[in-house]
Amino acid sequence: MTQKGSMKPVKKKKTEEPELEPLCCCEYIDRNGEKNHVATCLCDCQDLDEGCDRWITCKSLQPETCERIMDTISDRLRIPWLRGAKKVNISIIPPLVLLPVFLHVASWHFLLGVVVLTSLPVLALWYYYLTHRRKEQTLFFLSLGLFSLGYMYYVFLQEVVPKGRVGPVQLAVLTCGLFLILLALHRAKKNPGYLSNPASGDRSLSSSQLECLSRKGQEKTKGFPGADMSGSLNNRTTKDDPKGSSRMPAGSPTKAKEDWCAKCQLVRPARAWHCRICGICVRRMDHHCVWINSCVGESNHQAFILALLIFLLTSVYGITLTLDTICRDRSVFTALFYCPGVYANYSSALSFTCVWYSVIITAGMAYIFLIQLINISYNVTEREVQQALRQKTGRRLLCGLIVDTGLLG
């Protein structure tokens, strides 16, 4: 008999997996796992054909069919790229197409401008509540915000600067403000302070989330003064608990229910919350911002406030330069409401329309900035304010701008 020490382990031969052929720039793997080509995006569209037939014959279309049509369109909407065509999010496209069309139509006549500029916020709010009710992520507002910045700057360079009223220094200041907005937005879009259960390694997180989670518990993130920004679990889990944060904490059942996240399977630190849109818990979550398509939490709150402040200053400065150019010898406020002859020239009419569009966007961002400053001064988050209103434990002050949540004495 052979001794145990003399036995040699049998090496198993690795089964060689067949190598997949590299994709060309126009090929991709569709949602069914099959190789497809960009040129065949209009082929084999049975759901779309059925939907068109029902629409032509005035028959009702099933919601399931609409969802399949949208899934097919979003899967086939791709652009050629190295090592395979890249998928394009369909929600990015409408702002790129509709915004220039609407602004050019609004510059034809004063009444058209009133109708278009009034309908744009209504459509944006309708789309927001539609996606917010379904708890869906969308790149529509991020695309709208970035494209609005770029298009307003393009109109300023093409229609306002050639008139000779804007100097090089003023143009440089406006350009620097635009770049600072983009830098602040890039920082605000980074990890807001995601939480994850260390025991579950199969969670699908982005690279920015994984980078933050690897540093969890090793460093403290700077926050606003006076706010409880503790990122550790403190005394919420017992030392003899072998599963750590994966176990329901002891103590009050009501408190345990509030601190325990059944979806993420972890104990939330103080003031953390689970975002139903992002699908993960966030430290000191303030709200989910559609303009950056991310949550505003402990790690990116300051960058979010900074982005709002820089945007407001840059936008007001650009509006002032434009009105001073197309409506000379008038104050900014007067020119905004009374600028005779502005629709006589298409260039000045387009500039004036873009000014009013910028005013509407700036007013909305100013309201968000004001609410954020009020919440910071009261050391509350927007989620805590909304929760207090839903539970009827808070009361509105100053026409609803201030909400007393009852958390402070």
**Gap between the Cα atoms of 229 and 271, Å rounded:** 8
Q: How far from 192 is each of 86, 212, 232, CA to CA, in Å? A: 27, 9, 16
278: its two tokens: 């992002």
CB-count burial class (<10 Å; 0-12, 13-18, 19+) for 177: middle
DSSP secondary structure letter of residue 299: T
Q: Is the pTM of this model over 0.75?
A: no
Structure tokens at 285: 């979550």
User: What is the pLDDT, as a whole number, of residue 400?
Assistant: 61
Contact (Cβ atoms closer than 8 angstroms) between residue 250 and residue 238: yes
CA distance 407 to 230: 18
Residue 62 near residue 110 (C-beta atoms within 8 A): no
Cα-based distances in Å from 361 to 156, 225, 368: 16, 30, 11
pLDDT at 222: 39
Per-residue confidence (pLDDT) for residue 395, from 0 to 100? 65
C-alpha to C-alpha distance for 332 and 336, rounded to whole angstroms = 6
Nearest to 303 by CA among 383, 390, 188: 188
How confident is the model at residue 332, as a pLDDT? 86
Spatial contact of 92 and 139, defined as CB atoms under 8 Å apart: yes
How deeply is 268 buried, as exposed, middle or buried, from its count of CB atoms within 10 A (0-12, 13-18, 19+)?
buried
CA 107 to chain centre: 29
**pLDDT on residue 304:** 95
Which pLDDT belongs to residue 219? 42
Q: How far apart are CA 39 and CA 26, in angstroms?
A: 8
Please give the positions annotated as active site: 289
Largest Cα–Cα distance of the chain, in whole Å? 108
The pLDDT value recorded for residue 257 is: 56
Q: Which two tokens stand for residue 408?
A: 């402070």
Report the distance separating Cα 274 and Cα 264, nearest Å: 8
Residues of the chain with pLDDT under 70: 1-20, 42, 63, 197-258, 393-395, 397-409
Estimate to the nearest angstrom the gap between the alpha carbon of 348 and the chain centroid.
33
3-state class (DSSP) for residue 176: helix
Residues 97-107 pLDDT 10s: 999 999 999 99
CB 191 within 8 A of CB 283: no
